[in-house]
């Protein structure tokens, strides 16, 4: 059987803070919400948030390791520019405003409260758009 992605899990010392952040960004409540674990359904997979101390019971080294800056969490959205306008009223660490990538995505890069890179993107027809890289 081929592999199937089921979850992207962020191990965090602040489940509540990330739950609030992703509830705003994704415009939905979590499908599972416990003090130590939260999960957002995301198109056949899920974004989960797991309390660092609780998870350390199962993988002890996770509590002592530093934050990972090499992972990006990506969500396809209907209209990146509309999402950017909607999220402007929130205190967000913006990495790059909406821009059209050469491979056909219009992307908006930001960081969640723990520094994880998040990409909200839409597919666009690059031949019909002006260049705004």
Domain 1-66 has CATH 3.40.50.300: no
What pLDDT digit, counting tens, does each position of 65-112 carry? 555 556 789 899 999 999 999 999 999 999 999 999 888 899 999 999
Smallest CA-to-CA distance from 79 within 104, 103, 102, 107 is with 107
What pLDDT digit, counting tens, does each position of 120-133 carry? 999 887 565 444 54
Backbone angles phi, psi at 114, to 5 degrees: -105, 5
| Domain coordinates in residue numbering, the chain | 1-66, 67-133
How many residues belong to the chain? 133
What is the architecture of the domain spanning 67-133? Roll (3.10)
Burial 54-92 (b: 16+ CB within 10 A, else e): ebbeeeeeeeeeeeeeeeebebebeebeebbeebeeeeb
């Amino acid at each position: 059987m081929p592999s199937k992605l089921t979850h992207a899990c962020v191990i965090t010392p602040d489940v509540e803070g990330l739950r609030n952040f992703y509830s705003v960004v994704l415009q939905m409540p979590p499908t599972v919400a416990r003090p130590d674990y939260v999960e957002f359904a995301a198109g056949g997979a899920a974004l989960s948030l797991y309390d660092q101390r609780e998870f350390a019971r199962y993988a002890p080294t996770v509590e002592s390791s530093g934050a990972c800056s090499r992972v990006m969490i990506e969500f396809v959205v209907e209209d990146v520019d509309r999402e950017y306008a909607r999220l402007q009223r929130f205190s967000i660490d913006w990495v790059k405003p909406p821009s059209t990538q050469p491979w056909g995505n219009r992307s908006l890069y930001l960081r969640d409260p723990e520094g994880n890179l998040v990409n909200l993107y839409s597919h666009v027809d690059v031949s019909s758009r002006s260049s705004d890289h």
